[in-house]
Chains A and B, each alone.
With several copies, the nearest count.
Chain A
């Protein structure tokens, strides 16, 4: 059964310096509060894994938590570039950022292999692109029946995956709905997992489109209402699109970014 823990304790216990960490959530249900707690606790040398390094990874990268990024699309959705990500890649600020770059199909399948206890996944992907030239983690494989050549990618098995969900019950069973992305796979692929939730309830009433993660497959659950802001939790909040737009300005300049992190993350009043 998943333990119910305060967010700070969950991060302290489950996310360690040097870990491979996946914060997933596809536009919806992005675990921003957990990302901020990682910054507050000053984690270092993380390998950050995520299909779409959104503003949450821009913040972690700019705050100096990351050594390496494994990803498939690094932008501010609907707005433009991630300036901290770009500054790290182009100017090694605040430090160098090693990249391992994939396509969405490749990343999704890497999580699927990880969740399935397989060492690799097979897909029709990457062929003819320049992506395989920059990592040994994209290889070819021949079908043992037809002889056709396909692409193989290795399983992703993060040390810890963090996701946000709408609800959990007291046994740590987690329920999410709306766009649920690759979260089930990311949690099941990980050695440890932390789920932040909008609400803890006595009983999970069924919802159409729900994904349920049984408590015995989750390490810890933290009650963090609003923990996806500026992303959203379907049925609880709406996406703060204005913040995503504002982030473009905040993040463009190193000083402005650092002031924002100091005020809104490092020195922020945090619930116990």
Chain B
């Protein structure tokens, strides 16, 4: 319990703890994949991992290095085409949890992964773009965002809406016809934010051990809502840390 760990490790462990056995989870490469595989290797062995490359129920014994890693196809219950992933599995709402990252995020969980600064046609920074995110954000039962918290990322207004959270506030998802639940939880290196059921605003509900509310406010580009009952999360257990580090070691070996 008293082992040293990094803020990123705490973030990954907190994300893994969000996942429950028996649910189907749409995962991208990077932190989401690490968190999902950590969950599967610890408290949620029955977690169903779905990669947009077409691997349903992948059970990798090491961390995949890309969403098209061969280990995903080799261990999947079924390998299907990419159109089928989106049309038969994501779109009808069969997937319980979608994991997303963000380059920018606003208080309603709207996400930008497209361009930062300048005009769309002449941006300051060109990011990779949408990928599967807009429809993951629209259709999964709920969305979990994993992102390091800073004023650059947690902005008053995103420069481009790549994936919709709660739009401009309550009722907007229904008005837009988005059938998934939206970004219920945002897990950062500082703590956990949850969407307020009434206002839809991301609200700090949990701090990682040793983090202060003040520090989270400083890393947030809008006046941050803080829950009345703010809790502090448990640090990573020795088992969580050991499994996480073993998983990450498989990635270094393979690369």
Contact = CB atoms under 8 A, between A and B. Distances in A.
Direct contact of A and B (CB under 8 A): yes
Interface of A: 1, 26-28, 51-52, 71-75, 77-78, 81-82, 85-86, 89-90, 99, 101-105, 108-109, 111-112, 115-118, 123-131, 133-134, 148-149, 173, 178-182, 184-185, 188, 209, 211-214, 216-217, 232, 234, 238-239, 241-242, 244-245
A180 B79 CA distance: 8
A119 B85 CA distance: 18
B171 interface: no
Contact of B93 (A78, A117, A178, A244): A117
Given A105-B90, A184-B88, 19 more contacts: A26-B53, A73-B130, A74-B126, A74-B128, A77-B66, A81-B126, A90-B124, A104-B131, A105-B135, A108-B86, A115-B92, A117-B91, A124-B138, A125-B134, A125-B138, A130-B114, A131-B162, A180-B79, A180-B81
A221 B72 CA distance: 26
B176 A111 contact: no
The 10 A-B pairs at the shortest CB distance, nearest first, are namely A27-B68, A117-B92, A75-B128, A73-B131, A128-B164, A212-B78, A105-B86, A108-B83, A105-B135, A89-B126
B219 interface: no
B218 interface: no
B128 A81 contact: yes
A124 B177 contact: yes
A123 B29 contact: no
A103 B120 CA distance: 16
B178 A185 contact: no
17 contacts: A28-B73, A72-B130, A73-B130, A81-B126, A86-B126, A105-B87, A105-B90, A116-B88, A128-B161, A130-B160, A179-B54, A179-B68, A179-B79, A182-B81, A212-B77, A214-B77, A241-B65
Nearest to A215: B77
Given A125-B138, A241-B65, A217 B94 contact: yes
B177 A148 contact: yes
B81 A128 contact: no
Interface size class for chain B? 35 or more
B130 A209 contact: no
Nearest to A29: B68
A101 B114 contact: yes
Interface in B123-147: 123-135, 138-139
B185 interface: no
B250 to A, nearest CB: 12
B35 to A, nearest CB: 15
Contacts of A52: 131
A207 B221 CA distance: 53
A243 to B, nearest CB: 10
A73 B129 contact: yes
Interface string B43-82: 0001010001111110000000111111011000111011
A111 B70 CA distance: 24
A103 B133 CA distance: 7
A116 B92 CA distance: 6
A158 to B, nearest CB: 14
Contact of A78 (B29, B138, B139): B29
A188 B177 contact: no
A105 B134 contact: yes
B129 A214 contact: no
